[in-house]
Amino acid sequence: MPETTDALLETVDRLAGAGQGEEAIVQLKAALKREPRAFALWLRLSSLHYDAGEYSAAIAAMREAERADPMPDGFARIQQAIQSRRYEDARAMAEAMLAEVPGHPRAVFSLAHLARARGDHEAAATHLSISFQHAPANPVLRELHISALEDTGNYAGAIEAAHELARLDNGFAAVHRLLTVLLRYGQNEEALELCERAEMLAGNDSRKLSEINLLRGQLHRILGDKAASVKAFHESLRLHPGQTAAWWGLADLKTYKFTDDARAAMRDLLASSSVNRQQKAQVAFALARASDVPGDQQQAMEAYAKANALQLAFAQNEGRAFGLGFDRTEFSDAIERLKRGFDTAALETQADHLATGPTPIFILGLPRSGSTLLEQILASHSNVEGTMELPVLPSVKRRAHKLCAEALGGDYLNKVGELSADDLAALGQQYVDDSAVFRKEGAAYVTDKLPHNFEHIGLIHKILPHAVIIDIRRNPLDCGLSLYKQYFAAGVGYSYDLRDIGAYYNGYLDLMVHWDAVLPGRVHRVIYEELVAEPEKVITRLLEDIGIGFEPACLSFHENERAVRTASSEQVRQPLNNDGIGQWRAVEHQLAPLKESLGPKTLARFSSVF
C-alpha cells in the first residue's frame, strides 16, 4: 500500500485508467480509514463513485470532503472580502486556493459567484465545467452551473446540466429544478411526463404536491388541454388553498367561471397575514378577473386598480432587487440613447454572410397587441415554425455588449457601429444556434415573438440581414387596458400604472419612428384592428412580403394544435373575432390617466381604429 497521498492517488488513477475502478475505490476506502481527514482522497473517491454511476455514494463522499476541507479559514476570508466589496481581493484568494488544491469546490464556487456578479457568465460557466473534472458530484456546483449556462444563453446546455443534476441527486429539489428548466425552455411534453416522477418524490408533502399540480396545470394549458389544466389547478388548490398562482392560473384561462365559494376563498387570502404582497397581487388579479363581466365594468376596474396597486407596491419594494420597477425618466433616456447609438452610420455595417439555419421572423411590439395571434397565423403556414417568446436575442445583445467592452474598449451603444462584419456574422450565427433548442420541425422560417425586441431592431438588422421583422400594433387604449388587466410576474413593470403604460407606449412609438427613418422599409407593420377586419387581405400581403405566399391554413389558425404559452393562449384557439376591439369605451372615464399620458398626438394617430 502506498504511504503518501500523492503515491496513492497515482495508483488509484492507474487502476481507474485500466478499468479497475472497484479496486481503486477499495484502496481509497482503506486509506481513508487511516486518514479520515484526507480531503484529496475523499474528493477522488467521490469522483470514482460518480464515474461508476453510484451517485448516492458520490454525494456522501463529497460531503465528507467538505468536512475535511483543509482550507476553511481561506473560504471564510473570501466571504469576508466579498461582504466588504473587496471583489478583486476575493478573486485573488480564490484563485490562490484553487492553485493549491485543484478543483477545490469552495474556491470554484467563489470564482463562479464573482464572475456572475460582474456579468461574466461565460467565465462562471467555464470555472464550473472545469471543476467537474475534480468534483463532479457536488450538487451545489451543479445547480450553479445550470444558472450560469442560462445566463450565457446556452439553453440546451442548461437543460442537459439540469438533467445531470437530477441524475446525480434523485431528490425532489433537483427534479423540480429540472422540471422548471424544461418548462421555461419549451420542452413541454417532457416536463409533463416528469411531473409524475416529481410527484412520487414529493411523498405526502401537500405543499410540494400542490406545486407540481400547479406546473401540471400550466403545462396542460400551454398544450391546449383546458379541461386537464382546470383539473390540475383545482388539485393544486385542494392540496394547498393558499397556492395563489393556481387561482391566477384559473383566472388566466379567461373563460373560467368562479363560484361564490371560490371568490370568498380568494377574499380570505387577501385578508390573510400569511400571504405576502406579491401573492396577494396574484389573488387580487384573479378576483378582478372573476368580477370582469359585461355590464359591471365599474366594479371590475376598481378591483383591477387594487390588484395593480398591490403589484406596484411589491415592484417598488421587495421586487426592486429583481428589477421589477419602472421609471419613466429612465425609460425615456434609454430610448434616446438607443436612437443616438443606432444612427445611420452605426447601422451601415452588417454581417458579411448569412447565418446557417432557418430565417428568423421577429414579431414585436407591445404585449397584448396581437402578437400571439399573428404568430399563430404564421405558424399555420407549412414553411413557418412557431416557437415562443425566446430569451435568445437579449442574450446575444449582452454578448455584443461584452464584445464592445473587451475588443473595442467602450459601451455597446457607443461601439456597436464599429463591430466588424465577421463579429456581426458570429453574433447572428450565435442567435440561430442558441435558438435551436426551441425548434423541432425544421421549417425554413421560425418565429420569435418576444415583444420587447423592438428595442433591438438595429441589432437584428446588423447581425441577421435576412431576418423578417414585423411590428404588430394595437390602438393604445385597448392595448393599455389589456395590459392593466393582466398579471405579469416580471418583465412588464410599466403595466401596473396607467400613466406608466402611456409613457411606455409613447416611447415605443418614438423608437419605431426612429427605426423607420434610419431603416426605411425594413420593418413590416401589421395593425391589429385591420388584421381582424380583413384577415385574408392583411395575411396575404404579409406572406407575399415575406416571400412564402398565402396558404388557406393561415385563416384556420385556431385549428393549429401547437403549444402556446402566452396570456392569449385560449383566444388563439378560437376563430377570429372582434371581441378585443373597442373594450376601452366601456371604461373610458377610468382610463383618463392613460389618455392624459398618451397625449392628443398619439391618440390622433390611432383615430381611424378607435
pLDDT at 1 (0 to 100): 45
Distances (CA, A) of 419 to 53, 393, 519: 47, 17, 18
pLDDT at 580 (0 to 100): 84
User: Is there a single domain that holds both residue 416 and residue 268?
Assistant: no
- Which of 325, 345, 379 terminates a domain? The answer is 325
Instruction: Identify residue 22 by its one-letter amino acid code.
Output: E
User: Is there a single domain that holds both residue 344 and residue 375?
Assistant: yes
User: Is there a single domain that holds both residue 564 and residue 600?
Assistant: yes
Spatial distance between the Cα atoms of 469 and 172, rounded to a whole number of angstroms: 42
User: Is there a single domain that holds both residue 458 and residue 538?
Assistant: yes
Closest CA relative to residue 398, chosen from 150, 91, 134: 150
**Residue 473 belongs to some domain of the structure:** yes
**Residue 242 belongs to some domain of the structure:** no
Distance of CA 185 to the CA centre of its chain: 8
User: Is there a single domain that holds both residue 307 and residue 341?
Assistant: no
User: Is there a single domain that holds both residue 374 and residue 466?
Assistant: yes
**Percent of the chain clearing pLDDT 90 (strictly above):** 87
Residue 523 structural domain: 333-609
pLDDT at 571 (0 to 100): 61
**Residue 246 belongs to some domain of the structure:** no
The CATH number given to whatever domain includes residue 35 is 1.25.40.10
Question: SS3 for 116?
Answer: helix
- Which of 268, 292, 325 terminates a domain? The answer is 325
**Residue 591 belongs to some domain of the structure:** yes
User: Is there a single domain that holds both residue 541 and residue 410?
Assistant: yes
Question: SS3 for 489?
Answer: coil
Place of cell 378577473: 289
Q: Are 175 and 198 in contact (CB under 8 A)?
A: yes
- Residue numbers in the chain where pLDDT is lower than 70: 1-3, 321-323, 560-573, 609-610
User: Is there a single domain that holds both residue 416 and residue 491?
Assistant: yes
pLDDT one-digit tens code per residue, 145-154:
999 999 999 9
pLDDT one-digit tens code per residue, 203-257:
999 999 999 999 999 999 999 899 999 999 999 999 999 999 999 999 999 889 9
pLDDT one-digit tens code per residue, 256-297:
999 999 999 999 999 999 999 999 999 999 999 999 987 778
- Which of 14, 34, 67 terminates a domain? The answer is 67
Closest CA relative to residue 416, chosen from 319, 325, 508, 337: 337
**Residue 39 belongs to some domain of the structure:** yes
Question: Within 13 Å, how many C-alpha atoms sit on residue 547's CB side?
Answer: 7
**Percent of the chain clearing pLDDT 70 (strictly above):** 96
User: Is there a single domain that holds both residue 279 and residue 344?
Assistant: no
User: Is there a single domain that holds both residue 346 and residue 300?
Assistant: no
**Residue 208 belongs to some domain of the structure:** no
User: Is there a single domain that holds both residue 404 and residue 267?
Assistant: no
The x, y and z cell numbers of residue 10, run together, are 497515482
Domains in the chain: how many in total? 3
User: Is there a single domain that holds both residue 350 and residue 429?
Assistant: yes
pLDDT at 490 (0 to 100): 80
